[in-house]
A and B are shown apart, each in its own frame.
Chain A
C-alpha cells in the first residue's frame, strides 16, 4: 500500500530506538503485572507464606561462618592431629596415614604384596651375587624361560618372579596372562609361607624341567 510505504520510509533511527524502548517497557510492565497477579492469587488462596519457616528454626539452621568450622558448625580437620598406635609394629602413626600404613604393615593390601615380592627378589639377588656370575651367561641366553628379565639371575626359584620385577610392580595394568601363569603367586599369604618352594610354570608343558 502506498500509504504504508510512505509512513514506513519516514522512520529514522531515533524513532526506531524510541519505539524499541516503548516495546521493552510494555514487556517489562507485562512481566510486573504477571507477578502481581500471581502473588495476589497466592495471597487469596492462602499459599503465599507457605514456604517460609518460623524465625526460631531459621536461627537454628543458619549458616555458620567461623574459621576452622564448616557451614554446619562441625570441625572438619579434627582428625588431622590425632595419632594412633599400630597394633602390628607398635608405632605411632598419624590418623590420615593410618589405613595405608596398616595395609602395608599387615601385608594385606594390593601394593604390599608387590613391594614384598620386589624385596624378596632384590634380597635374593644380593645374597646370591657371587654364585650367579658364572650362571648368568647361560641364563641371559635362555629366552625360553625368562620373560624379559635377563638381568636377574637365578633360574630356579625366582624365574617366575623375575619378570614381575622388570615391569612396574605397582601398575594395575598387568596383562592377565601373566597373572594366570603365575598360578596363585599373587596371593600374599601364600607367598609369605612358600618363599623357597620352586615354582613350575604352568604354561609351558613342552619344556619339562
Chain B
C-alpha cells in the first residue's frame, strides 16, 4: 500500500484524532493506519453496495451473461466429468467447489468481465467520493 503524499498530512491529523479519542492503540504506524483505513473504506463501500441493492443487480446481471455466453453449460459438462470420476453417490459439495471454482474463474470471458467492471467502477465513482 503506497501512501499518497498529499494524503499524509490528512492521515497524520486523523491518527492524532484517533489517539485522542482512544480509537487507536499507541504507536500505530502510518502504514498500518492506512491499511486499516483502507479496509474500513472497503467495508463501507461493500455495505453501501448491499444496502442499495446494487450487489443483487450485479449478481443477476453476471448470472444472465454467464448463461448467455455458455459458461454455465461448459462448467456443467466439467461437473459431469468430476461426478463420473468421483462416483455419483459420493460426491460432496466440497469436491465440486474445489474442482469447479478455479476452472470457473478462468472460463469467464473477457467481455463479461469488462462489462461488469464498468458497472462497478461507475458505482464506485458515484458513491465512493461522498
Chain A positions near chain B (C-beta within 8 angstroms)? 2-4, 6-12, 15-17, 19-25, 27-37, 39-40, 43, 48-49
Q: A8-B130, A20-B121, A20-B124 are in contact. Are A3 and B14 (CB under 8 A)?
A: yes
Please indicate the chain A residues that have their CB under 8 angstroms from the CB of B128 in the complex. Answer: 8, 11, 16
State whether A27 touches B58 (Cβ < 8 A): yes
State whether B62 touches A27 (Cβ < 8 A): yes
State whether B7 touches A36 (Cβ < 8 A): no
State whether B4 touches A12 (Cβ < 8 A): yes
Q: A24-B117, A39-B96 are in contact. Are A48 and B83 (CB under 8 A)?
A: yes
Chain B positions near chain A (C-beta within 8 angstroms)? 4, 7, 10-11, 13-14, 17, 34, 37-38, 40-42, 44-46, 49, 55, 58-59, 62-63, 66, 72, 75-76, 79-80, 83, 88, 91-93, 96-97, 100-101, 104-105, 108, 113, 116-117, 120-121, 124-125, 128-130
State whether B93 touches A19 (Cβ < 8 A): no
Instruction: List the count of A-B residue pairs having beta carbons below 8 Å apart.
Output: 111
Nearest CB on B from A47, distance (A): 12
Q: A24-B117, A32-B105 are in contact. Are A19 and B124 (CB under 8 A)?
A: yes
State whether A19 touches B10 (Cβ < 8 A): no
State whether A31 touches B100 (Cβ < 8 A): no
Q: Can you name 26 A-B pairs with beta carbons within 8 Å?
A: A3-B14, A3-B17, A6-B37, A7-B14, A7-B40, A8-B41, A8-B129, A10-B4, A10-B41, A16-B121, A23-B46, A23-B58, A24-B117, A27-B55, A27-B59, A27-B62, A27-B116, A28-B105, A28-B108, A29-B105, A31-B63, A31-B104, A32-B75, A35-B76, A36-B79, A36-B93
